[in-house]
């Protein structure tokens, strides 16, 4: 069986007031959709041990920004 490849994106979500606080991820989804999934996931009880989600909730997602760092073909 031949593998199917999709273009992926490497992205960084960071605090605009404290850029040292960040998360690096990758996705094949639209970037806006993936960002909204992160916000939604941060509200779930089972993600309480995710340090970045806890940080983003504490300072507010309005301080977070997402940037593309690379494209994978």
Task: For residue 24, tell me if it sits in a domain.
Answer: yes
H/E segment holding residue 63: none
Task: For residue 36, tell me if it sits in a domain.
Answer: yes
- Percentage of the chain modeled with pLDDT above 70: 93
Q: How many domains does the chain have?
A: 1
Burial class from Cβ neighbours inside 10 Å (0-12, 13-18, 19+) for residue 47 reads middle
Q: Could you report the per-residue pLDDT of 46-60, keeping only the tens digit for each? A: 777 889 999 999 999
Assigned token pair, 59 = 């300072």
Range of the structural domain that residue 53 is part of: 8-72
Task: For residue 3, tell me if it sits in a domain.
Answer: no
Task: For residue 1, tell me if it sits in a domain.
Answer: no
Task: For residue 23, tell me if it sits in a domain.
Answer: yes
Q: What is the dihedral of CA 13, 18, 19, 20, to 10 degrees?
A: -100
Task: For residue 2, tell me if it sits in a domain.
Answer: no
Report pTM. Answer: 0.85
Task: For residue 46, tell me if it sits in a domain.
Answer: yes
Question: Where do we find the tokens 């593998």?
Answer: 3
């Amino acid at each position: 069986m031949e593998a199917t490849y999709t273009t992926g994106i490497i992205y960084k979500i960071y605090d605009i007031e404290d850029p040292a606080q960040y998360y690096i991820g990758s996705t094949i989804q639209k970037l806006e959709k993936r960002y909204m999934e992160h916000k939604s996931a941060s509200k779930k009880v089972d993600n309480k041990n995710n340090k970045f989600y806890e940080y983003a909730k504490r300072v507010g997602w309005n301080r977070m920004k997402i940037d593309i760092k690379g494209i994978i073909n």
